[in-house]
A and B are shown apart, each in its own frame.
Chain A
Amino acid sequence: VNSHPDAVAQAAPSDLVSRVLVVDDDAAILRLVRLALLTEGFQVTVAGDGAAGLEAIQKEEFELVILDLQMPRMDGPTMFRELRSRGFAVPVLILSAFGAERARVELGAQAAMAKPFDVDDLLDRVASLVPPPSATTE
């Protein structure tokens, strides 16, 4: 997977703004996670289901994907497997009301967090996976 050009690009330290893709079918959750990430200086793209998420990732590079599990059209696990089979090694944080940790283990995702979540816990977890841009510039 590491041989994929995207993986190389993502692994390379850059002075670009860190981009996070948030995939969730609940528009209110998308707005919340987006606002929270914005306070740490991330650039955020949102997608309402797995199919839209895959589409976004083919257009843009992301340093992290925050992924819900239950979604219409294409669910989280399907999107995750599709992502890996296409060679994208981007770290994935599973964010779900049910079975987030189990899905993380089964899929081999990098992190998991249950809903409802504490906003600061979520941001700490995100920071452990991808350093926030505000931290690197300080």
Chain B
Amino acid sequence: VTVSALDHGLASPAASKLAVEQNLSDDSSDVTSRRAEEAEYHLSAIVQSSDDAIVSKDLYGIVRSWNPGAERLFGYRADEMIGRSIRVIIPAEHQSEEDEVLRRIRNGERIDHFETIRRRKDGSLVPISLTVSPVLDRRGRVIGASKIARDISEKRAAEELMRSSLTLKDQFLGLVSHELRTPISTIVGNAQLLLRRGDRLPTAAREEALLDIATESERLQRIIENLLVLTRLEATGEVTSTPVDMCILAREVIESMRRRTPGREIVLETMDAPTALGDPTLISLVIQNLVGNAHKYSPDETLIEVLLTKNEQDDPELHVLDRGIGVEPQDAERIFEAFYRGAAGIANAEGMGLGLAVCQRIVAALGGSLGVEPRAGGGSDFRFSVPGLREFTS
């Protein structure tokens, strides 16, 4: 019964009804005729309203029916396609598929959920999932095929997204494991050295080994801290908000930095900075990352300046100024992306491109802003601001 509606190449239920009447006009019983008519009409309406493309063709691949779903999917109107070969919508490199489809249909076989590519009227390609079934006449002979095609662009896009996010995840894991292995090598190696061969080492060498264990453990801790904050902010974006004296935080960060890298000159200058409103642990992590970067990407003998001030909105703003390698204009936006590292950064220092991404997410979560500008005379001026505590800023 389905066959006749499809097989007559009809584009509307009304026309289909007409065809059904013609087809069944020699039926003897009026009641049977009306029931069949209603059933046909019903089926035809389903085809008409289907979101999928439903098309029928004869054994030579000539289109016999073309529903509105097919019009939408392929861009051809029914009157443009009926009577033409289905090969019109098959790209050159997929033409052999049609030979195979027709061969199998002639043998009465069905083709289920075959994923392929078709060409729309405007020339664009669309990925589809295709089901082709043989159409039989009343005596059971194959007289054509019905095709149901579904647009799978979205599914493909989702698969593509999944693949690229898996690639990103692999990159992430690669970077994390490299970044974690390096300090672990030092910690494990020095511990073994002290345990098994400590007696063969002079006191100074033993102290050197212990210092490396301590320093690299702290490095591991910072990496893990950054990763945890990044994960937490990605998941919830929630931060606490309390009044924060950024001057105290900056002083603590600089003190701990001086302990780790004695000899490195870091100065702190404050100019009536208002009290900040935010999460002190997170703000401290931003300062740590920025000062850490300034140290990493500038020569040891140059000065790092930390300047705490206020911006035009009277919000506290912290600058970290260095005389380092600077940031190339093409990198200025991307360095805040997780795992992105500028070419100069890769050539000059170890790292996984996590610090600035963490800063960016923290500052965004706190409702502040973060940026970098080239510094007159060379180097970079990284600055970030967070909302100030209004009542306290008189």
Contacts and interface: CB of A to CB of B under 8 A. Distances in A.
Interface residues of A, number: 21
Contacts of B259: none
Contact of B200 (A28, A39, A97): A39
B208 A35 contact: yes
Contacts of B185: 29, 32, 97, 115-117
B212 A97 contact: no
B-side interface mostly: helix
A32 B182 contact: no
Interface stretch (B67-75, B136-144, B190-198, B242-250): B190-198
A28 B347 CA distance: 19
B33 interface: no
Nearest to A70: B178
A7 B197 CA distance: 33
B297 to A, nearest CB: 12
B192 A118 contact: yes
A31 B205 CA distance: 9
Contacts of A118: 188, 192
Nearest to B190: A32
Contacts, number: 70
B215 interface: yes
Interface in B141-186: 174, 177-178, 181-186
Given A31-B212, A119-B189, A119-B193, A38 B201 contact: yes
Contacts of A98: 174, 178
B125 to A, nearest CB: 39
B182 A72 contact: no
Interface in A36-78: 36, 38-39, 72-73
Contact of B209 (A32, A73, A120): A32
A99 to B, nearest CB: 11
Given A35-B193, A72-B346, A72-B347, A115 B209 contact: no
B2 interface: no
Interface string A96-117: 0110000000000000000111
Contacts of A115: 181-182, 185
A80 B208 CA distance: 30
B32 interface: no
A33 B193 CA distance: 10
Contact of B197 (A29, A36, A117): A36
Nearest to A119: B192
Interface in B347-365: 347-350
B216 interface: yes
B181 to A, nearest CB: 5
A124 to B, nearest CB: 13
Nearest to B347: A72
Contacts of B216: 28
A26 interface: yes
B300 to A, nearest CB: 12
Contacts of B350: 25-26
Interface in A6-32: 25-26, 28-29, 31-32
Interface of B: 174, 177-178, 181-186, 188-190, 192-193, 196-197, 200-201, 205, 208-209, 212, 215-216, 346-350
